[in-house]
Structure 1
């Protein structure tokens, strides 16, 4: 490894088929799009998946394996919220047939079974779990965990997969302040992962990159068609890419809150997934859960028995 290499892309170089999966639900799969386009240009097979917030019971799609719905451009779904469907339609407008595989919101055990079934069905040999934000690195004793249920269920599910390469990529440094995450604690986690060789550095996304232009177009297309529920994370990252700074709002959903749009928001932070999983203090306690309600109870019980590290401002 030297300054001419990208540790993230170097780790993925041997892979033939990469699954890029949104780990935290919602629009997280969109945060993986710049990497998706780069890997496609490198000649790799790349598949998109997402832990979905869509009401999948209202989607008229096919279930290739239990717990996973295959969404395509022609798939009909809820009018109010269906980012995966609109993303597939965006690809179709470009003449590209790209399905998005949607995982149901479940507990870790059920999600683990769904990931294993999808791997057997598709045969991918690498997984990049993408977090829109940075709360996936919270180990459990921080003052704010963000929205841990989906992230940690996905983390535990992918940890158990028998594939050669498993990575975590975060996009949107600062976004999770909206959910009470202390970013000094995030940087502390990065330092701890660096000490054990699990930190793979940052990769800047720049507006001049063709992959970024495609990402921005996809975000704009889908958010315009979901005006009541656009993505706060994706629009914040787009603002950062375009050079905005500070309390800049692109959606009415953030009115009344204070945002910190900043250049670090448009960088990929990459990590070895197994190293991230080892640091999570409550992942093992969640391994047998089959519902989000079970996960919630276990997380609350864990938090009640551990001292919580207080908020720390970044001293700069």
Structure 2
């Protein structure tokens, strides 16, 4: 009997923060077969200075975070989930820096190419805690799609010769309500994707070792830094309704998310089945940084949510112009002109947005991808 590797898998946290923790039950299931080679990757909100000091830099954005014995510096106020997870699992975690100014889609691609080297990867699985990665841009309100979609776009652009199969896996889809997404929009999207689901797994704390290991590890990794996984773990341990874990009460005054069985459901899809209906995905070009990705998504939202003549816009002004392309925040109709957007030169030149010649500036809605400021998330923390 040999231990020859039969399948190589990349398991990656999709949208930053603690998303990689949502892959742990899958990781433990995969590792139960000795013939799988699994690499853990996370799109990382950890600050560059910490990554540079305590891990090995491999590319512009890619860092190898190894287990460490000297962790006196890793106090509860230090945000570094990759280091905590590496210490728990005693395996390296590969962190791809997620920074609004530094990170470009092409640099995420560079990081993956470094990890792939001369190999062929059998499966690349993106894990999202929430449902940002599933949303199309047609919804009334998006959550925090910039991180998920910049990462997903980079994965999409990896050659199929180097990555045979790409998947998207979600857990806790209803939690995106805490980021302002309408529950009805989440349900509509899940229904639309239901025929494409390749598995649906109801996580159970009492009856599944892989799920229990995930809860135990997350609990030891400074759980106050992740609202999403704190609520998933609470639901797994039998909490329901608007329950708020004690360790989150310094961050959140009240929860607007009702947790329950649906919080514990993990669903997997083929990558292309999810991205096929996205209205802006193809416009995310490799040279864009995250601020520009944000702007492209916001502008696409304007195209999707077209307004009728004389409709009141989000800033409170009223449309007084006639235009075939009426983005809801077009400054030709919105006179306040608060917040400018600088469009990428290559995007303007492609004329993907036919109304662009009429618009010198586009007003940025202050909370376009954020919940109500009185909602459940304290935006000074990552989720």
Matched residue, 1:20: 11
Equivalent-residue separation in structure 1 for 2:252 and 2:199 (angstroms): 30
In the alignment, is the contact (CA less than 8 A) between 1:144 and 1:179 conserved in 2? no
Alignment equivalent of 1:47, drawn from 21, 39, 42? 39
1:119 maps to which of 92, 116, 120: 116
Q: Verify: 1:57 aligned to 2:33, yes or no.
A: no
Q: CA deviation at 1:47?
A: 1.3
Aligned equivalents of 1:205, 1:138: Cα separation in 2: 23
Number of aligned positions between the proteins: 285
- How is 1:158-169 mapped onto 2 (pairs within 5 angstroms)? 158-161=155-158, 162=160, 163-169=163-169
TM-score (norm 1): 0.84
Structure 2 match to 1:264? 262
d(CA) in 1 for partners of 2:15, 2:203? 21
Query: What TM-score do the two structures reach when normalised by structure 2?
Result: 0.70
Aligned residue runs from structure 1 range 13-162, under 5 A: 16-43=7-34, 44-59=36-51, 60=53, 61-74=55-68, 79=75, 80-91=78-89, 97-105=90-98, 106-120=103-117, 123-161=120-158, 162=160
What is the alpha-carbon distance in structure 1 between the residues aligned to residue 221 and residue 120 of structure 2?
29
> Between Structure 1 and Structure 2, which shows a larger proportion of helix residues?
1
Deviates more, 1:232-241 or 1:297-306: 297-306
- How far apart, in 2, do the equivalents of 1:102 and 1:121 lie? 20
1:283 aligns with 2:291: no
Of residues 62-71 and 210-219 in structure 1, the stretch that sits farther from structure 2 once superposed is 62-71
CA displacement at 1:21 relative to structure 2: 0.3
> Equivalent residue for 1:206?
204
Structure 2: segments with no counterpart, 5+ residues: 308-383
Q: Which residue of 1 aligns with 2:370?
A: none
1:231 aligns with 2:230: no
Spell out, residue by residue over 1:119-153, the C-alpha distance to the aligned partner (whole angstroms, 9 max, x if none): 22765321110000112111012112110001101
User: Does the residue aligned with 1:287 lie in a helix, a strand or coil?
Assistant: coil
Contact 2:18–2:226, Cα closer than 8 Å, also in 1? yes
Counterpart of 2:114 in 1: which secondary structure?
helix
Give 1:298 deviation, angstroms. 1.3
When the two chains are superposed, the root-mean-square deviation of aligned CA atoms in Å is 2.2
Q: How big is the shift at 1:200? A: 1.6
CA distance in 2, matches of 1:147, 1:82: 20
**Unaligned stretches of 5+ in structure 1?**
1-13, 92-96, 310-316
- The structure number with the bigger radius of gyration is 2
1:75-111 deviations in Å (ceiling 9; x for gaps):
87875200110111112xxxxx311101112232322
Task: Point out the more displaced range, 236-245 or 58-67.
Answer: 58-67
